[in-house]
Structure 1
Amino acid sequence: MFKTIKKDLPASIVVFFVALPLCLGIALASGAPLFSGLISGIIGGVIVGSLSGSKIGVSGPAAGLAAIVLTAIGTLGGYQNFLVAVVLGGVIQLLFGVLKAGVIGYYFPSSVIKGMLTGIGIIIILKQIPHFFGYDAEPEGADSFFVISGENTFSAILNVLDNITVGSMTVGFIALAILLLWDKILTKKGRIFQLIQGPLVAVVVGIIFYSLTQSNEAFAISPSHLVSVPVPEDASSFLAQFSFPNFNAITNPDIWVIAFTIALVASLETLLCVEATDKLDPNKNVTPTNRELLAQGTGNIISGLIGGLPITQVIVRSSANIQSGGVSKMSAIIHGFFLLISVILIPRLLNMIPLSVLAAILLIVGYKLAKPALFKKMYDLGWKQWIPFTVTVFGIVFIDLLYGIGLGLAVGIVVILLKSYQNSHFLHIEDKSNGKHKIKMTLAEEVTFFNKGAILKELDSLPRDTYLEIDILKTRYLDNDIIEILEDFAYKAKERNIDIKLVSKRGVVENPPSFIGFFEERPKSKLSLS
């Protein structure tokens, strides 16, 4: 792993600056102590990063769980009771991993996964616009359309016009210019610009700008527009920030319901993120999903035991890692150590970073996930890819991540069923022969009950005095529902003067009295080895 440290170390710095405000913002949106977000970020990096089989995935607190956490803390009567549910959720995730439930992630269509990445990219851009201009009413890390304050994504953007903070906006534009200059020009000029990442330079410039403008009323940035890391006075006050689960509440049935909910949602988000990051990975590594569930479960158990939020693999941090050149799990692990060391040694320095600078970093991340060229590419692939893709994007932007993915998956299933309906058979109509229409119906390789309607419609529409050839030479599976349709049709065909020719691997039969025998699987022959 240390062979790639030259690439992983710079990437870990970028991921650290992306993760820091997200950890704090998600904790705030969850109604949990701010330090709990940092705990889960540290564990997600160090523990889950070490155990995971993903080379470029980064784990931490997830915005998709914020609403669940907020409700659960109130329902269970306190944060310490909620931590019991986090620990139990981790245990259930371990069980999922043992039962090989990681295979679920492979059943999501590629169009939905690409829509997920694009939708998250758009959400990042829309959510960071207010922070970029110094309007920080909404916590960092929120990803749903409606927020706790009562605003929605677009109303927050409109309110920016009346709430611009000149200092935040100015340093935001300076940071964005540095990032673009670094990305487009300087990284190609010398190796030093590849080792020292643009986001680190932007953050340093932001701290300097904040320090120099404190006495300037026009450009001064108030503490509400800066990173807000808890600052302990001494070792005892630092340790006092940790919370521990109240296991006396384990008999409360609500805790078990919430634990299962956390395990299910966290596992689903993780598996979807794994699928998405593997698609983004330029080296095309394949993450072992069952091992990922075991790693996430272990992380959630430890996080719950010391006061952290639930953990999942997170696409925002993972994509920032990929875009910054991370190639092994060391970047995720190092970012976790950076979080740990910084909150212990330099919390006051972290609290001098303007949020608008971090917003500039995330704007670049969002744009790379939602490039306009991707929309054209998906459109060119045809409506079967375009419709699930766009439904997923709109669902994520206007509702939230899981709803958007669910809608995209539902549309994807409808598309599959529609194509299955259409492709169950092929009809070839020939000229009249001996006064009869000659029609050949070739059945598909697999014909299920989904195809009943299409086949029944074709058979019912056949005119009288027809010679019908049914070809099942390539058919490997034929549902019993279809056999029953053919049986009924054979009975009615005599009344309509329709002759039937059945072509199968068992031979050619004219007007078969029954179809059942032709579709029953023969017993496999026994092979003797001499």
Structure 2
Amino acid sequence: MFKTIKNDLPASIVVFFVALPLCLGIALASGAPLFSGLIAGIIGGIVVGMLSGSQIGVSGPAAGLAAIVLTSIGALGGFENFLVAVVLGGVIQILFGVLKAGVIGYYFPSSVIKGMLTGIGIIIILKQIPYFLGYVSEKGEGTFEQIFNSFTNIGLGSAVIAVIGLGILILWNNVLTKKAKIFQLIQGPLVAVVLGIIFYSFFGDSGNLAIDEKSLVSVPIPSDISSFLGQFTFPNFGVIFQGDVWIVAFTIALVASLETLLCVEATDKIDPLKRVTPTNRELLAQGTGNILSGLIGGLPITQVIVRSSANIQSGGRSKLSAIIHGFLLIISVIAIPKLLNLIPLSVLAAILLIVGYKLAKPALFKKMYDLGWKQFIPFTVTVFGIVFIDLLYGIGLGLGVGIIVILLKSYQNSHFLHIEDKSNGKHKIKMSLAEEVTFFNKGAILKELDSLPRDTYLELDLIKTRFLDNDIIEIMDDFAFKAKERNIDIKLISKRGVVENPESFVEFFRTRPKSSLGLS
């Protein structure tokens, strides 16, 4: 693991600067103590990082769970009661891992995974625009309302240093890193943050370029050890037998596991080394992390795509970058909270804008369009669902559309029909069935059989068919009865021979088992 430290150390610094505002922001959005977000980030980095089999995934508090946390704290009667649900959710996740439930993530289409990444990238960009312009929204404002208000309430100082920081990041990524190794070791985001601190130190207090304190990072500052320890909150296990606590626990376990597995699938796709994460081990690691996080007052943890993608894009190669980022979080909140509170949020927004753009490049839309409508429609539905509704709703909509596409193509590809010239006064039609014919194909096959004209010679080819559903056999059985009335002759061709005009397909397949015909 330490062989890649030259890559992992600078990447961990970038992930740290991405994670710090996200931990605080997600805690704020969840209606939880700000310190709870930092606890989740620390546990996700150090504990889950050590236990996980993912080499480039980074775990911490997830924005997708913020709405669940917010409503659950109120429904359960307080944060201490909610922490019990977090601990129980971790136990349930471990049970998922033991039961080998990690394969669920592999059943999501690639188009939905790419749509998830793109949707999250767009959300990141939209969420950071107000901070980039120096506008801190009031409670109750929607995303687009915040963006609109930010353009009419621009904080000049924040906007200036944000533009400077963005320029540095673009210059660093596109030019300087190709010039010398020093620019690969010292990352652009670190330089942008340092310049942000210097800028605020010179211009922050007064003048046209002043930056309001609300537009700065806000980390709790402990005065001594006891005040630091006093920031930890412990669960109230007196409510452990309440039914609503278990409902919230199962909800957290299910949603956190699904988000983690989708993130694992996504990060494995963009891993330059194309490594495969053991998903069941990941559930065990996440469950352990959630138990510890809940026990000391932290938010629920998942593997998160924003930090994971920032890690990959910054050159992270092993789990060491995630672990170091966790240690950086705990060191920073203990040793330098005052210095951290000098960082303008607009600089961090500039860093996240780059991350968002890399996830949602316009070229990806063209690429998905070129792949055809079967890929493009589930992709776009997922993107729009995530952006305009919610992460899980977007994924669900994309998956639903993907399933409809599969069913539609299965309906269309159940058979091939070839019409030949008349032979002995009858239309000669050859129908070749697909390799697998299931009840999904009933409608298409029934439509073709019913549309055959009178006086037809039908050649039914099952040579390539390996699976024939009983529903299809019953349709053919009904058709065999109708065929006599319409003067339709049937010739059935299978791998084991030819049968002329079977009176009953059901009886035929009963007396000659499908296995004897090369079918199942």
TM-score by length of 1: 0.96
1:59 pairs with 2:52: no
What letter is aligned with 1:464? R
Aligned residue in 2 for 1:96: 96
Identity among equivalent positions (%) equals 81
* CA distance in 1: counterparts of 2:289 and 2:222, whole angstroms: 25
Deviation of 1:72 after TM superposition, in Å, equals 0.7
For residue 154 of structure 1, report the CA deviation from its aligned partner: 1.6
Give the match for residue 345 of structure 2: 355
Q: Which residue of 2 aligns with 1:456?
A: 446
Give the C-alpha shift of residue 476 in structure 1. Answer: 1.1
1: CA distance between counterparts of 2:369 and 2:32? 42
Aligned residue identity for 1:219: L
Partner of 2:7: 7
- 1:269 aligned to 2:283? no
* 1:524 Cα offset (Å): 12
Matched, 1:259 2:249: yes
Name the counterpart of 1:294.
284
1:159 and 2:146 are equivalent in the alignment: no
Residue 246 of structure 1 is matched in structure 2 by 236
Aligned partner of 1:146 in structure 2 is none
* Structure 1 residue 279 corresponds to structure 2 residue 269: yes
**Partner residue of 2:370?**
380
**Residue in 2 aligned with 1:520?**
513
Correspondence for 1:107? 107
Contact 2:494 2:517 in 1 (8 A): no
Find the counterpart in structure 1 of residue 410 from structure 2.
Answer: 420
Number of aligned residue pairs: give it: 515
1:401 paired residue number: 391
Kindly state the Cα deviation for residue 162 of structure 1 after the two structures are TM-superposed: 1.9
Give the match's secondary structure for 2:419.
Answer: strand
Give the CA RMSD over aligned residues.
1.2
CA distance in structure 2 between the partners assigned to 1:520 and 1:205 by the alignment: 77
Match for 2:381: what amino acid?
V
CA offset digits 1:22-44 (Å, max 9, x no partner): 00010011111100000000000
Q: What corresponds to 2:36 in structure 1?
A: 36
5+ residue gaps, structure 2, are none
Superposed, 1:170-209 pairs within 5 Å as: 170-209=160-199
2:140 and 2:483 mapped to 1: Cα distance? 66
Distance in 1 (CA, whole Å) between partners of 2:513 and 2:270 is 46
Deviation of 1:163 (Å): 1.4
Alignment of 1:301-312 (within 5 A): 301-312=291-302
- Structure 2 residue 67 is the aligned partner of structure 1 residue 74: no
Q: Which residue matches 2:464? A: 474
For residue 326 of structure 1, give the secondary structure of its aligned residue in structure 2: coil
The amino acid that maps onto 2:362 is P
1:380-439 Cα distance to aligned partner (Å, 9 max, x none): 000000100000010011011111010000000000000000000000100001110000
| 1:513 Cα deviation after fit | 1.9
The separation in 1 between residues aligned to 2:513 and 2:383, in whole angstroms, is 45
Query: One-letter code of the match for 1:418?
Result: L
| Alignment-derived partner of residue 124 in structure 2 | 124
Q: Contact 2:56–2:316 at 8 Å: present in 1 too?
A: yes
Provide the C-alpha distance between the structure 2 equivalents of 1:524 and 1:444, rounded to a whole number of angstroms. 15
> Where does 1:439-450 land on structure 2 (aligned, <5 Å)?
439-450=429-440
Partner secondary structure for residue 282 of structure 1: coil
Q: Deviations over 1:442-473 (max 9, x none)?
A: 00111111100000000000000000000111
SS at match of 1:494: helix
Structure 2 CA distance for aligned equivalents of residues 158 and 297 of structure 1: 40
Whichever residue aligns with residue 381 of structure 1, its letter is: L
Question: What secondary structure, in the 3-state scheme, does the structure 2 residue paired with 1:220 have?
Answer: coil
Identify the residue that residue 145 of structure 1 maps to in structure 2: none
What is the CA-CA distance between 1:515 and the residue it aligns to? 1.8
Amino acid across the alignment from 1:33: P
| Matches of 2:140 and 2:489, distance apart in 1 | 69
Match of 1:410 in 2: 400
The question of 1:432 aligning with 2:422 is answered yes
Report the secondary structure of 1:437's partner residue.
Answer: strand
CA distance, structure 2, for counterparts of residue 14 and residue 48 of structure 1: 19
Per-residue CA deviations over 1:174-206 (Å, capped at 9, x if unaligned) read: 100110111111101111100000000000000
Deviation at 1:7, TM superposition (A): 0.2
Find the residue that maps to 1:54 and give its secondary structure: coil
1:337 corresponds to 2:330: no
Aligned to 2:46: 46
Out of 218, 225, 229, the residue aligned to residue 228 of structure 1 is 218
1:509 equivalent to 2:499? Answer yes
Residue type matched to 2:107 in 1? Y
Whichever residue aligns with residue 319 of structure 1, its letter is S
| 2:377 equivalent to 1:390 | no
Query: How far apart are residue 523 of structure 1 and its match?
Result: 8.1
SS at match of 2:67: helix
Contact 2:496 2:516 in 1 (8 A): no
Per-residue Cα deviation, 1:471-500 (whole angstroms, up to 9, x for no partner):
111111111110000000001100000000
Query: For residue 359 of structure 2, what is the aligned residue in structure 1?
Result: 369
Could you say what secondary structure the match of 2:431 adopts? strand
Amino acid of the residue matched to residue 431 of structure 2?
M
TM-score by length of 2: 0.98
Partner SS state of residue 36, structure 1: helix
Deviates more, 1:315-324 or 1:206-215: 206-215
Cα separation, 1, equivalents of 2:374 and 2:172: 39
Displacement of 1:220 after TM fit? Answer: 1.2
CA contact (8 A) 2:10 2:314 kept: yes
**Could you say what secondary structure the match of 1:80 adopts?**
helix
